[in-house]
Amino acid sequence: MTATPEESTLRVGRPLNDRREPKAEPVLTLDPDGRPARLLRESPYPLASSPGGETWAALLERPEDGKSDRPVLLQWLGPEGTEPPSHVHPTTETFEAIDGELTVTVAGETRRLGPGESVTVPAETEHAFRNDTDDVVAFRAELPSMRTVHSLFTVWGLDHEGAFGGEDEYGEPGPIQGLVLAEDLYDETRMTMAPLVVQRLLWATIGRVARAVGYSGIDEQYVDSVFWERHVEQL
């Protein structure tokens, strides 16, 4: 992938059709000399995406690489990108804005991080993040564990396979899919939108029925590099 003759930007991250040809959109445009593009080039892992969630991401490090005890994810979030619900982890999580402004809310206090600014969320502290701007924001996140990555990539992979939209359409997971994922993530990530006793009741009732009719939680096939090379336009 090279800069276009008309403009010095890189176009990457479009969904691929069955012939591995890029669709028109959504597309991620990068400054070829910018830090996000450099980090993406240096990543040993492919670019993943959620077209319906206006999100792109690439792993920079995995614990098994021996450089860090937790995964590090480079992520882009568009203006209409998915805003994860408020949640807590048993360990810390660090966000660093790389390009654009990332809004992070920690324990009810909201901050907008500019390039180079970061925040570390203490363990067991409620937090969330979003893009409040009209542009794509790039940020680096040190996640609690690979299970977080598996959950994200599962949602994004299901999006590419049409689980959340109609034919040839993309979308975002509905409440039932979110319920199933929340149960699979419970040991590491606890959603705070409802009391735990209510969530447990939902897992034991609606969640059990959902799994019986085909809803699935974390699926590690979506961490496979081959899947993303087949579904997303690479740099």
What are 1-57's pLDDT values in tens digits?
444 444 588 999 999 998 999 998 899 999 999 999 999 999 999 999 999 999 999
Structure tokens at 234: 């690479």
Structure tokens at 8: 């010095």
Alpha-carbon distance of 4 to 7, in angstroms, equals: 6
What are 66-94's pLDDT values in tens digits?
888 899 999 999 999 988 899 999 999 99
Cα distances (angstroms) measured from residue 168 to each of 55, 153, 197, 211, 221: 18, 20, 38, 25, 22
What domains does the chain contain, in order, with CATH numbers? Answer: 10-231 (2.60.120.10)
Q: For the whole model, what pTM was predicted?
A: 0.92
Looking at residue 3, what is its pLDDT?
A: 46
Single-letter amino acid code for the residue at 54: E
φ, ψ of residue 182 to 5 degrees: the values are -60, -40
